[in-house]
């Protein structure tokens, strides 16, 4: 569900006309609905209200500090994968004790920053990382709380580019090595192993893979405890899919996902950690662009827009499809158009054969389900400024990241004096 709608006079984000925002801020831009973000977080949190559980929002999905602050005030933690994301989470007011540090190649500087901040947990993904973290923590005179990320060899049935839980993926430690490495973590100085973590992929459209992964890691919790180890935390990652197109089969509901995980872990007596990103943010965002001009290329109609693949790269990177909405109420017979941007790449193509009713210059188009992995993956390719981000709350909107000027874009570059 989202809070974007088509009314008699055009598209709305909550109670604000998209046209008003686009005219004030310029296009292209991202628009987020505060009501949708709150609702999606609350629905999931409510399903775990009777458990000791932390919803650690995956910052990589949507990292704007205004969004992080909104979720943090509702009790969310942060799942981070870099020192920059740690800085963002703390800047947004999320307490360090609600921060989980994931990722396969944390640098010494990142480890030091997280240790000094006092984060909840490091999700460690290799034997080499255990040794590295032990050395860094010992040098600082600190103890790092550790969860060992186990690769359960579960195929989530999602796109291979976003699958993370198969045995040949780069993530986690082999399941057969988990016991040995947990014992090693307990023996190394500066480390305090406290749990296990698992993550099998993203945009997963069935609860069955989650159930298999939870069962595998749950059995490991039991066997480690039988050896005398403390296992108090179980991080089950994220990855539940969301609907990108209304005509597509709907993924399981968050309540079904939660019921599966609650059932699989009911007898483990652990603190649960979940890392949803797309589930909370995906449907909460639109990417909005204007038609610049149209052309007929040997019978193929193109609507050329001011947004480009550097602003929303998912279609070019993953072949992702986003439903397109027109701001102008539909009249007459639609004409199918390819929607493409101005970047000099053949992959700068958002969608093919989209039925459009209004294709005149200046008409607004909105790409749904763009809240996750949209703005965070944007770049300044072709020296195109990063697009603004706008947060709508009821009948108000705020620019939460403005468009930089060219001067600001070039401010980090220098021409040597003796060049």
What is the chain's alpha carbon radius of gyration, rounded to the nearest angstrom?
A: 23
> Is 344 marked active-site?
yes
Name the β-bridge partners of 297. Answer: 300
Any binding-site annotation on 245?
A: no
Any binding-site annotation on 73?
A: no
Any binding-site annotation on 141?
A: no
Any binding-site annotation on 318?
A: yes
Any binding-site annotation on 275?
A: yes
Cβ-contact 201, 208 below 8 angstroms? no
Locus of tokens 């990652």:
237
Any binding-site annotation on 278?
A: yes
Q: Which of 226, 333, 344, 412 is catalytic?
A: 344
Any binding-site annotation on 239?
A: yes
For the purposes of burial, counting CB atoms within 10 Å of the CB of 62, is it exposed (0-12), middle (13-18) or buried (19 or more)?
Answer: buried
- For residue 136, the SS3 value is helix
Could you tell me which of 284, 298, 312 has the C-alpha nearest to residue 34? 284
Name the β-bridge partners of 339. Answer: 303, 351
CA distances from residue 185 to 110, 165, 209 in whole angstroms, order as listed: 19, 22, 28
Report whether the peptide linkage leading into residue 28 is cis, meaning its omega lies within 30 degrees of zero: yes
Q: What is the C-alpha to C-alpha distance for residues 117 and 384, in angstroms, rounded to an integer? A: 35
Question: Which residues are documented as binding site for pyridoxal 5'-phosphate?
Answer: 239, 275-278, 373
Question: Which residues are documented as binding site?
Answer: 239, 275-278, 314, 318, 345, 373
Question: Which residues are documented as binding site for substrate?
Answer: 278, 314, 318, 345, 373
Active site residues: 344
């Amino acid at each position: 569900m989202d809070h974007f709608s088509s009314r008699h006079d055009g598209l709305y984000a909550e109670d604000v006309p998209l046209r008003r925002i686009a005219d004030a801020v310029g296009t292209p831009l991202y628009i987020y609905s505060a009501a949708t973000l709150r609702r999606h977080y609350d629905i999931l949190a409510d399903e775990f209200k009777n458990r000791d559980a932390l919803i650690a929002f995956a910052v990589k999905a949507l990292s704007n500090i205004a969004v992080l602050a909104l979720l943090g005030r509702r009790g969310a933690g942060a799942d981070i994968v870099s020192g920059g994301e740690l800085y963002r989470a703390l800047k947004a007011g999320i307490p360090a004790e609600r921060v989980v540090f994931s990722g396969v190649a944390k640098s010494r500087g990142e480890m030091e920053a997280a240790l000094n901040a006092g984060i909840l947990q490091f999700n460690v993904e290799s034997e080499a990382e255990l040794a590295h973290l032990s050395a860094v923590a010992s040098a600082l005179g600190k103890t790092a709380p550790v969860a060992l990320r186990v690769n359960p060899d579960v195929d989530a049935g999602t796109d291979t580019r976003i699958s993370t839980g198969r045995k040949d993926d780069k993530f986690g430690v082999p399941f057969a090595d988990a016991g040995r490495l947990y014992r090693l973590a307990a023996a190394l100085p500066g480390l305090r192993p406290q749990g296990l973590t698992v993550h099998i992929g993203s945009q997963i459209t069935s609860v069955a893979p989650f159930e298999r992964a939870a069962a595998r890691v749950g059995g490991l919790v039991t066997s480690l405890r039988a050896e005398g180890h403390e296992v108090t935390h179980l991080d089950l990652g994220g990855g539940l899919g969301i609907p990108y197109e209304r005509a597509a089969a709907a993924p399981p509901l968050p309540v079904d996902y939660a019921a599966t995980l609650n059932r699989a872990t009911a007898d483990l007596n652990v603190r649960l950690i979940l890392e949803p990103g797309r589930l909370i943010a995906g449907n909460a965002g639109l990417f909005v662009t204007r038609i610049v001009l149209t052309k007929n290329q040997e019978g193929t109609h193109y609507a050329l827009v001011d947004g480009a693949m550097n602003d929303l790269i998912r279609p070019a990177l993953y072949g992702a499809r986003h439903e397109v909405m027109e701001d102008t109420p539909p009249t007459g017979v639609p004409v199918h158009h390819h929607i493409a941007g101005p970047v000099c790449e053949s992959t700068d193509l958002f969608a093919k054969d989209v039925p459009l009713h209004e294709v005149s210059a200046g008409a607004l188009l909105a790409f749904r389900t763009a809240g996750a992995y949209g703005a965070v993956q944007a770049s300044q390719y072709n020296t195109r400024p990063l697009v603004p981000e706008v947060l709508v709350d009821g009948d108000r909107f705020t620019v939460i990241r403005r468009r930089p000027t060219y001067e600001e874009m070039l401010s980090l570059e220098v021409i040597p004096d003796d060049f």
